[in-house]
RNA sequence: CGGGAUGUGGCUCAGUCUGGCUAGAGCGCAGCGUUCGGGACGCUGAGGCCGCAGGUUCGAAUCCUGCCAUCCCGACCA
């Protein structure tokens, strides 16, 4: 491909609408353009990268026995009513009606459609297992789309669904997908981590997320320095053992704490460490009042709380609710005498006593509180987020925190959908059984954004060879110079003949302009053909990621080029090919 | 949906507070000339119902009201 005939509208200045790196660079590198909020056109270079990502996904999915198909984007509402998600899904589901006034939606995911297909076509255990996937545009009407491709409303996703006849088969399918995902992200040349994840609204028992590691990631990952434990902070369980501590020897005592709303204020005022103060957080969980207690120096983990409560929705109580439940203003809630439907405490609160808590009285706290003696806790659970001070829950190692971008998620669904939609088969005994399902997603367009978040510098994108729209660009400096032109074309044809993915920058532009453009778009390898080099029978090859340049003799250029290319591939953890 | 901000040539912005003359700059674009290994320079030129709709005023990009759009901060997610 010649750049002069291609279409990469680069921007010299930062677009005002883009804040995050990937969004900014995708726009500047002429890879995407916004059509409307959260909806983007993939320009040729961006689309080419997406195709490369998709191809790697296809290859690995196939390797692990998944079969590609393509389902409709528009889905009938009736299917969603079968599973109850027509009501449950919320406003992210874009619903509309056709001319006959029938309900439809644009698919944000395809459990219903695939389950409907499979229940019609599969009736015997002999037809199982089956794993079907597609790469398709999805639509979720996000409350707030942002960060360009990172969280668009329309996005490209690979979604796979497995159907098995028993738990062992389902476990095997899950295992294969896990392997396929590891292989996919390795082949993309990304630094990533598979972590244990919360199953969230999709439900099911086991779940892993695949995180591309990047400082700008929104998710926090807890990893162990010694074993292979890695989990989303939302999920990472906290190890907490030890005997219950004996009852506090002192009776509760009310103290005056005027205007002291926060834990740090109270601790400072009473001159005690924050860990001696209890945080009492009040929530509205599906309309019921809930109090959750953690140590003052800890962070409550809302995902854990939600799971413990088995709640559909969980919201911090409003100021009005707090006043109603505690009888005091914000900041004076405590477990003693609190009138809520349910009160839960973090596990570690059993290990100590003599707490300072809110008194449920304006401007007052209680000292010497013993939870067992003075309050009615409904249960002790793992409610807080793991910290660097905690031991690894699997071994004695220490916990580290890393940031990541979620690009893949795999779930064991069990029979949630197969039961509600009657996706049944006959087993060897002729007994009807629900199929056991799994689902496996990769945000294809998000992978592109994540790749850029992970690999960029001040000059622009640094694509991995696998994701780059072109692995190599040949910069013909001054293409009006016939010798330069001829040599550039020569190299171009030779590389094409060797199957190298190469773009020829034959534009009639000044050298600096072209260098800047090539750095911006982030081609991993730049071959610079200039009059100066030609005279000495050399061309220069630059590694985008390191900036290192290699002068290669024109004669036997291919051999020299292969070496540099190999170096670059190795840098991204890629093997030959 | 709540909080904040912004809408002015294709892009980035000034001008708005304190209303007034022909609405500006840089980049980009077109033509000519010079230049040609890190986003060149000179000259000439095209391009704007100042987000939309009302209102105030002799006069509105500027003041008022309403609406729309986009971006940023919180609850959702690949």
A478-511 tens-digit pLDDT: 888 999 999 999 999 999 999 999 999 999 999 9
Distance between CA atoms of residues A175 and A164, nearest Å: 13
Strands A130-139 and A67-68, by their bridges, are parallel
Average pLDDT over residues A109-130: 96
Looking at the DSSP bridge assignments, the partners of residue A504 are A2, A474
Average pLDDT over residues A104-133: 96
- Nucleotide in closest CA–C1' contact with A91: B76
Distance between CA atoms of residues A348 and A353, nearest Å: 10
Tell me what pLDDT residue A203 has.
54
Higher per-residue confidence, A199 vs A466: A466
Name the average pLDDT for chain A.
92
Average pLDDT over residues A200-222: 83
Secondary structure letter of residue A317 according to DSSP: P
Distance between CA atoms of residues A450 and A149, nearest Å: 9
- A402, A213 contact by CB (below 8 A): yes
Helix (H, G, I), strand (E, B), or coil: what is residue A293? strand
CA of A18 to C1' of B8 (A): 20
Average pLDDT over residues A186-215: 85
Question: What proportion of chain A, given as a percentage, has pLDDT over 70?
Answer: 99
Tell me what pLDDT residue A307 has.
84
pLDDT-based confidence at residue A577 (cuts at 50, 70, 90): low
CA of A218 to C1' of B72 (A): 16
Residue A157 pLDDT greater than 70, yes or no: yes
CA of A539 to C1' of B22 (A): 55
Helix (H, G, I), strand (E, B), or coil: what is residue A389? coil
Cβ-based neighbours of A114, under 8 Å, separated by 6 or more: A71, A132, A161
| pTM for this prediction | 0.93
A281-293 tens-digit pLDDT: 888 888 888 899 9
For strand B, give the nucleotides within 7 A of a protein CB: 1-2, 11-13, 26-28, 35-40, 69-78
For A524-563, letters b (16+ CB in 10 Å) and e give bbbbbbbeebbeeebbbbbbbbeeeebebebeebeebbee
Q: Where are the beta strands (DSSP E) in A48-145?
A: 67-68, 74-76, 94-97, 103-106, 130-139
Distance between CA atoms of residues A141 and A143, nearest Å: 6
CA of A15 to C1' of B70 (A): 12
- Nucleotide in closest CA–C1' contact with A531: B37
Residue A146 pLDDT greater than 80, yes or no: yes
- Nucleotide in closest CA–C1' contact with A20: B72
- B37 nearest neighbour residue (CA to C1'): A511
- Nucleotide in closest CA–C1' contact with A442: B78
CA of A231 to C1' of B5 (A): 37
Residue A339 pLDDT greater than 90, yes or no: no
| Spacing of C-alpha A527 from chain mean position | 35
Structure tokens at A469: 């729209």
Average pLDDT over residues A106-118: 95
A227-264 tens-digit pLDDT: 989 998 888 888 888 888 888 889 999 999 988 888 88
Worst-scoring range by mean pLDDT, A56-65, A201-210, A347-356? A201-210
**Cβ atoms within 10 Å, residue A260:** 22
Higher per-residue confidence, A575 vs A15: A15
pLDDT-based confidence at residue A205 (cuts at 50, 70, 90): low
Looking at the DSSP bridge assignments, the partners of residue A124 are A426
CA of A514 to C1' of B34 (A): 20
- B35 nearest neighbour residue (CA to C1'): A510
Distance between CA atoms of residues A493 and A504, nearest Å: 10
Tell me what pLDDT residue A211 has.
95
Worst-scoring range by mean pLDDT, A98-107, A304-313, A513-522? A304-313
Worst-scoring range by mean pLDDT, A311-315, A394-398, A519-523, A539-543? A311-315
ipTM (interface predicted TM): 0.93
Helix (H, G, I), strand (E, B), or coil: what is residue A281? strand
Tell me what pLDDT residue A329 has.
79
The dihedral of CA A474, A480, A483, A485: what is its sign? positive
CA of A48 to C1' of B31 (A): 36
Of A44-48, A89-93, A348-352, highest mean pLDDT: A44-48
Higher per-residue confidence, A545 vs A311: A545
Whether a cis peptide bond, with omega within 30° of 0, leads into A129 is: yes
Q: Find the helix or strand (DSSP H, E) in which A567 lies.
A: helix A557-571
- A76, A103 contact by CB (below 8 A): yes
Tell me what pLDDT residue A172 has.
96
- Nucleotide in closest CA–C1' contact with A140: B77
Structure tokens at A304: 């854990």
* H helices present in A276-423, as ranges: 302-309, 319-326, 371-374, 416-420
- Nucleotide in closest CA–C1' contact with A34: B70
DSSP string, A202-258: G--S-EEEEEEE-TT-SEEEEEESSSS-EEETTTPPPP---PPPPPPSSPPEEEE-T
Average pLDDT over residues A458-466: 97
Strands A364-369 and A355-358, by their bridges, are antiparallel
Looking at the DSSP bridge assignments, the partners of residue A439 are A161, A411
The dihedral of CA A165, A171, A177, A179: what is its sign? negative
Q: What are phi and psi of A312, to 5 degrees?
A: -80, -50
Tell me what pLDDT residue A88 has.
82
CA of A510 to C1' of B34 (A): 14
pLDDT-based confidence at residue A332 (cuts at 50, 70, 90): confident
Higher per-residue confidence, A311 vs A456: A456
């Amino acid at each position: 491909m010649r750049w002069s005939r291609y279409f990469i509208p680069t921007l010299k200045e930062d677009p005002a609408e883009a804040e995050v790196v990937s969004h900014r660079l995708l726009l500047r590198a002429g890879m995407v353009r916004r059509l409307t909020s959260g909806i983007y056109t993939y320009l040729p270079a961006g689309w080419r990268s997406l195709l490369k990502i998709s191809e790697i996904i296809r290859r690995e999915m196939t390797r692990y026995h998944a079969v590609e198909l393509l389902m409709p984007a528009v889905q009938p509402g009736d299917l969603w009513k079968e599973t109850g998600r027509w009501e449950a899904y919320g406003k992210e589901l874009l619903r509309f009606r056709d001319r006959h006034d029938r309900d439809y939606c644009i698919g944000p995911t395809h459990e219903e459609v695939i389950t409907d297909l499979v229940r019609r076509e599969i009736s015997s255990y002999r037809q199982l297992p089956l794993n079907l996937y597609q790469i398709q545009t999805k639509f979720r009407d996000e409350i707030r789309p942002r960060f360009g491709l990172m969280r668009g409303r329309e996005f490209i996703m690979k979604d796979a669904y497995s159907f098995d006849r028993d738990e062992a088969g389902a476990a095997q399918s899950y295992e294969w997908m896990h392997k396929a995902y590891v292989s996919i992200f390795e082949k993309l040349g990304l630094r990533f981590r598979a972590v244990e994840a919360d199953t969230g609204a999709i439900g099911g028992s086991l779940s892993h997320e695949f995180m591309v590691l990047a400082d700008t990631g929104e998710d926090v990952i807890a990893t162990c320095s010694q074993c292979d434990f890695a989990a989303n902070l939302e999920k990472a369980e906290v190890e907490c053992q030890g005997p219950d501590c004996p009852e506090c020897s002192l009776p509760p005592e009310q103290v005056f704490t005027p205007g002291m709303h926060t834990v740090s204020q109270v601790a400072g005022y009473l001159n005690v460490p924050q860990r001696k103060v209890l945080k009492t957080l009040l929530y509205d969980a599906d309309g019921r009042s809930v109090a959750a207690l953690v140590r003052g120096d800890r962070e409550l983990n809302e995902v854990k709380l939600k799971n413990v409560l088995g709640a559909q929705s969980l919201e911090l109580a409003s100021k009005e609710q707090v006043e109603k439940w505690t009888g005091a203003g914000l900041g004076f809630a405590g477990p003693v005498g609190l009138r809520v439907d349910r009160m839960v405490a973090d596990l570690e609160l059993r290990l100590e006593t003599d707490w300072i808590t809110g008194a449920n009285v304006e401007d007052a706290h209680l000292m010497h509180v013993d939870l067992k003696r003075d309050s009615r806790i409904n249960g002790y659970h793992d409610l807080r987020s793991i910290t660097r001070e905690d031991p690894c829950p699997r071994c004695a190692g220490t916990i580290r925190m890393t940031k990541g971008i979620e690009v893949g998620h795999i779930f064991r669904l069990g029979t949630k959908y197969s039961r509600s939609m009657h996706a049944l088969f006959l087993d060897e005994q002729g007994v009807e059984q629900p199929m056991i399902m799994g689902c496996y997603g990769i945000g294809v367009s998000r992978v592109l954004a994540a790749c850029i978040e992970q690999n960029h510098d001040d000059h622009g994108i640094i694509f991995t060879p696998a994701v780059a729209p072109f692995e190599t660009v040949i910069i013909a400096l001054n293409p009006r110079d016939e010798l330069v032109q001829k040599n550039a074309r020569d190299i171009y044809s030779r590389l094409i003949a060797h199957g190298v993915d190469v773009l020829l920058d034959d534009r009639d532009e000044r050298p600096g302009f072209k260098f800047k453009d090539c750095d911006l778009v982030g081609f991993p390898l730049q071959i610079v053909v200039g009059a100066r080099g030609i005279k000495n029978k050399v061309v220069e090859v630059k590694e985008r990621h390191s900036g290192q340049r290699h002068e290669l003799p024109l004669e036997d250029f291919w051999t020299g080029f292969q070496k540099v290319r190999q170096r670059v591939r190795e840098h991204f953890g890629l093997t030959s090919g």
